[in-house]
Chains A and B, each alone.
Chain A
Amino acid sequence: MAKKIDVPFNGTKEQEEKLRAQLAQLKIEHDGKGLMIAALQRAQDIYGYLPEAVQQIIADELGVSLAEVYGVATFYAQFSLYPKGNYKIGVCLGTACYVKGSGDVYKKICDTLKIEGGQCTDDLRFSLDATRCIGCCGLAPVMTVNDDVYGKVTPEEVEGILAKYMN
């Protein structure tokens, strides 16, 4: 299972107040029931992702356990447990890229940065996501770093590409 990465949490007091106010409002609107997903969506809107401290607030406010909140947050693809890094890496795992070996590229990035898809490095420099087709199948396999696009990538080239963003 995905190993937890400790990322510093920089939530502000204002964010927390905003979240608690929105949760209170939601509780009234939903009559106290079935509001977990809505609560997670609001929290992600405020913080950009759902770290443990934020999920704990939701658990306390909704009167459920942290394990249950975590269960829902990890079930839906729309929720992210980690912030996006300064450099957002995307690797296309669409059909064309995949048959051309993007799976190996993806794995090489995971191994190099010691993270999994959906996670970010503990210095917040890189985050990694698997993407769908980005529309340049002729260049398969394709990876992107922010707005830079790399085509016909091999696992051997991964370290060199990442090195460009190390400084």
Chain B
Amino acid sequence: MVHLKINNIPVEVKEGSTILEAAKVAGINIPTLCYLKEINEIGACRVCVCEVKGARSLVAACVYPVNEGMEVFTNTEKVRKSRKTTLELLLSDHKKECLSCVRSTNCELQKLSNEYGCDENRFKGARTECEQDTSTSYLVRDNEKCILCRRCVAVCKHVQDVAVIAPARRGFNTHIACAFESDLADAPCVACGQCVAVCPTGALHEREEIDNVRDAINNPEKVVIVAAAPAVRAAIGEEFGYPIGTNTEGKMFTAMRMLGFDKVFDVNFGADLTILEEANELLDRVSNKGVLPMFTSCSPGWIRYVEYYYPELIPNLSSCKSPMQMCGAAIKTYWAQKEGIDPKNIYFVGIMPCTAKKFEKTRQNEAASGYPDVDAVLTTRELAKMIKTSGIIYNELPDGTFDNPLGEFTGAGVIFGATGGVMEAALRTAAEKITGKPLDNIDFKAVRGIKGIKEAEYDLNGTKVKVAVASGLTNAKKLCEKIKKGECDYTFVEVMCCPGGCVNGGGQPIQSAYVRRNTDLRSKRAKALYDEDKKSAIRKSHENEAVLKLYEEFFGAPGSHKAHEILHTSYVDRKKK
């Protein structure tokens, strides 16, 4: 242990700790901009500078290791002045449209500038000029708001292993770019949006579709249907001041109705449907010696990763559409027929914790009715924005519920939003199908938790099933390499593109670097889902009455010809040759 004083307060911390960490122990916060715990520790922005007794100059607290007997001062006049100047220099080359910026009131640069009383016009000089990159359907990059903290670059490389963006050129010309200044659409980007989730400013944000949705709602010819992914309910409350991990599902349903949606279904229903199709496909592959291990296909970022980086593993991907796409496909075929509505007039909106879903809806083979399965995708943030701008007082709403029949869901559908959830839901169903009798214990705890890679083995009536679960593409890569080299014998592998699964997706409410390093967002949000599963009366997808009815009235059985036509899809090799 090391002993030191921070602002004359004695603290004892582990050897190798930084000043930033030691200060937290003393109850003192040091502001940061570029620092992201364990992801971006580069001491570049100089906002965290502190005075160390005996040191020649100010030091960067986020990377400066503590020493025995050290005396640190985090709040002297010299320190405050330096931080303020640094912020003012950043502001001198920042597109200051703060009043209307998508990140206003949730911008780390804005917050610090305000706290330090910065003069945003103190330094006048050359400004970086560049066009916004709006080449993709999911993300907008605005380098004029970029402060070059490199948090996006670090997350893209170290967490997601794709590194499609990097700093280019030098000095005043430094900017974050794709290789050879190409548009993001031409780069092998997986669309996960983790860069958006860690951006301290408005330089990165999702491609908004709120106006399209409002137009549809205002169009009397359209039947506008909304459905939210499992993970949305675990996080949308954060946008309205609820503690992280509060499930506000009931208020969300009420708010959706107030926004003018004609029907409020639920993607959890699609999740249950996915399980039936996926479990059936898995059993089919096992008994007919198909390609194994089978990969889950719910996460569009993961799909893009396989398509760009491991096309040789495309045959391992389940052909099942994602729960969102299944929902849309079922609505525009089964439900449309049942209600006598022309699918042309149905407008289906998915509310997603994800930016890649905005891409997924544009994929080939995702239009079972002849019209796109999904018409618009809003992130959790966009739904919250829509609710706020509609004057709906979310916190005071009574709890509502979903509409039938495509809203009904089980506990198994709910846990899809957390890493290991799809695996557990599939195991609950597959196990009972194989053994033919109800499970004694339906909690598959070995696949829960936020560990990057989880493995488990189950004996189902003599059939050995070895499974693996990975979240975050750096972890997925490790599995892919092992599988490619034939070093493992998994039967079924679940991969979620974002670390922790969809609860931590790129479309979820943005939390500052401070919150991210002091709170485990992933576990807290996941707990909200597991709690809901626990208290659900029905916790197995194959016991979802509405899903069973759907098969009885429409598809026949899981894996039927009709189910294949409507609920399954295909993939593309995108690797640059």
What 0/1 readout, one digit per residue, does chain B (554-577) give for beta carbons within 8 Å of chain A? 000000000000000000000010
Query: Number of contact residues on A: which range applies?
Result: 10 to 19
Contact residue among B168, B173, B187, B576 (Cβ-Cβ distance under 8 Å from A71): B168
A64 CB-CB contact with B under 8 Å: yes
Given that A67-B164, A70-B166, A75-B169 are contacting pairs, would A52 and B181 also be in contact in the complex, using a CB cutoff of 8 Å?
no
**Pairwise interchain contact B166-A4, C-beta atoms closer than 8 A:** no
**Pairwise interchain contact A67-B166, C-beta atoms closer than 8 A:** yes
Q: Which of A4, A75, A81 has the most CB of B within 10 A?
A: A75
By beta carbon, the residue of chain B nearest A81 is B180
In the complex, which residues of chain B have a beta carbon less than 8 angstroms from the beta carbon of A81?
Answer: 180
Contact residue among A2, A3, A69, A74 (Cβ-Cβ distance under 8 Å from B170): A74
Query: Which residues of A49-70 are within 8 A (CB) of B?
Result: 52, 55-56, 64-70
**Pairwise interchain contact A67-B130, C-beta atoms closer than 8 A:** no
B94 CB-CB contact with A under 8 Å: no
In the complex, which residues of chain B have a beta carbon less than 8 angstroms from the beta carbon of A65?
Answer: 157, 162-164, 166, 179
By beta carbon, the residue of chain B nearest A69 is B179
A1 CB-CB contact with B under 8 Å: yes
In the complex, which residues of chain A have a beta carbon less than 8 angstroms from the beta carbon of B179?
Answer: 52, 55, 65-67, 69-70
Query: Which residues of A64-93 are within 8 A (CB) of B?
Result: 64-71, 74-76, 81
Contact residue among A2, A52, A67 (Cβ-Cβ distance under 8 Å from B187): A67
What 0/1 readout, one digit per residue, does chain B (159-175) give for beta carbons within 8 Å of chain A? 00011111111100101
Given that A1-B175, A2-B181, A4-B181 are contacting pairs, would A70 and B163 also be in contact in the complex, using a CB cutoff of 8 Å?
no
A62, B516: Cα distance in complex, Å:
32
In the complex, which residues of chain B have a beta carbon less than 8 angstroms from the beta carbon of A70?
Answer: 166, 168, 177, 179-180
**Pairwise interchain contact B163-A67, C-beta atoms closer than 8 A:** yes
**Pairwise interchain contact B165-A67, C-beta atoms closer than 8 A:** yes
Contact residue among B157, B162, B167, B181 (Cβ-Cβ distance under 8 Å from A3): B181
Given that A1-B181, A69-B179 are contacting pairs, would A74 and B169 also be in contact in the complex, using a CB cutoff of 8 Å?
yes
By beta carbon, the residue of chain A nearest B182 is A4
A82, B177: Cα distance in complex, Å:
18
In the complex, which residues of chain B have a beta carbon less than 8 angstroms from the beta carbon of A64?
Answer: 163
A55, B180: Cα distance in complex, Å:
10
In the complex, which residues of chain B have a beta carbon less than 8 angstroms from the beta carbon of A74?
Answer: 168-170
B178 CB-CB contact with A under 8 Å: yes
**Distance (Å) between the CB of B129 and the closest chain A CB?**
9
**Pairwise interchain contact A52-B180, C-beta atoms closer than 8 A:** yes
**Distance (Å) between the CB of A50 and the closest chain B CB?**
11
What 0/1 readout, one digit per residue, does chain B (178-198) give for beta carbons within 8 Å of chain A? 111110000100000000000
**Distance (Å) between the CB of A146 and the closest chain B CB?**
28
By beta carbon, the residue of chain B nearest A70 is B179
In the complex, which residues of chain A have a beta carbon less than 8 angstroms from the beta carbon of B187?
Answer: 67
Query: Which residues of A1-28 are within 8 A (CB) of B?
Result: 1-4
In the complex, which residues of chain A have a beta carbon less than 8 angstroms from the beta carbon of B180?
Answer: 4, 52, 66, 70, 81
**Pairwise interchain contact A71-B162, C-beta atoms closer than 8 A:** no
Given that A1-B130, A1-B175, A65-B157 are contacting pairs, would A71 and B166 also be in contact in the complex, using a CB cutoff of 8 Å?
yes
**Pairwise interchain contact A67-B177, C-beta atoms closer than 8 A:** yes
In the complex, which residues of chain A have a beta carbon less than 8 angstroms from the beta carbon of B182?
Answer: 4
**Distance (Å) between the CB of A108 and the closest chain B CB?**
20
**Distance (Å) between the CB of B575 and the closest chain A CB?**
11
A69, B170: Cα distance in complex, Å:
14
In the complex, which residues of chain B have a beta carbon less than 8 angstroms from the beta carbon of A68?
Answer: 157, 163, 166
By beta carbon, the residue of chain B nearest A76 is B170
Q: Which of A55, A64, A70, A76 has the most CB of B within 10 A?
A: A70
In the complex, which residues of chain B have a beta carbon less than 8 angstroms from the beta carbon of A56?
Answer: 576
A70, B164: Cα distance in complex, Å:
11
By beta carbon, the residue of chain B nearest A3 is B181
A65, B170: Cα distance in complex, Å:
19
A56, B475: Cα distance in complex, Å:
24
A66, B576: Cα distance in complex, Å:
12
In the complex, which residues of chain B have a beta carbon less than 8 angstroms from the beta carbon of A4?
Answer: 180-182
A9, B63: Cα distance in complex, Å:
44
**Distance (Å) between the CB of A23 and the closest chain B CB?**
18
In the complex, which residues of chain A have a beta carbon less than 8 angstroms from the beta carbon of B162?
Answer: 65
**Distance (Å) between the CB of A93 and the closest chain B CB?**
15
**Pairwise interchain contact B178-A67, C-beta atoms closer than 8 A:** yes
In the complex, which residues of chain B have a beta carbon less than 8 angstroms from the beta carbon of A3?
Answer: 181
In the complex, which residues of chain A have a beta carbon less than 8 angstroms from the beta carbon of B168?
Answer: 67, 70-71, 74-75
**Distance (Å) between the CB of B103 and the closest chain A CB?**
23
By beta carbon, the residue of chain A nearest B143 is A1
A67, B162: Cα distance in complex, Å:
10
In the complex, which residues of chain A have a beta carbon less than 8 angstroms from the beta carbon of B170?
Answer: 74-76
Q: Which of B130, B177, B179, B187 has the most CB of A within 10 A?
A: B179
By beta carbon, the residue of chain A nearest B164 is A67
**Distance (Å) between the CB of A154 and the closest chain B CB?**
25
A3, B576: Cα distance in complex, Å:
22
A52, B170: Cα distance in complex, Å:
19
A67, B179: Cα distance in complex, Å:
4
Query: Which residues of B174-225 are within 8 A (CB) of A?
Result: 175, 177-182, 187
A1, B182: Cα distance in complex, Å:
11
A75, B177: Cα distance in complex, Å:
12
**Pairwise interchain contact A71-B164, C-beta atoms closer than 8 A:** no
In the complex, which residues of chain B have a beta carbon less than 8 angstroms from the beta carbon of A71?
Answer: 166-168, 177
A76, B367: Cα distance in complex, Å:
49
Query: Which residues of A83-114 are within 8 A (CB) of B?
Result: none
Residues of A near any B CB (own CB < 8 A): 1-4, 52, 55-56, 64-71, 74-76, 81
- In order of increasing CB-CB distance, the 7 nearest A-B pairs are A65-B163, A71-B166, A66-B179, A67-B166, A70-B179, A67-B179, A74-B169
Residue pairs across A and B with Cβ atoms less than 8 A apart, 28 shown, are: A1-B173, A2-B181, A4-B180, A4-B181, A52-B179, A52-B180, A55-B179, A64-B163, A65-B157, A65-B166, A65-B179, A66-B180, A67-B165, A67-B166, A67-B187, A69-B179, A70-B166, A70-B168, A70-B179, A71-B167, A71-B168, A71-B177, A74-B168, A75-B167, A75-B168, A75-B169, A75-B170, A76-B170
Q: A4-B182, A65-B163, A75-B170 are in contact. List 11 more A-B contacts (CB 8 A).
A: A1-B177, A2-B181, A4-B181, A55-B179, A56-B576, A65-B166, A65-B179, A66-B179, A67-B164, A67-B166, A75-B169
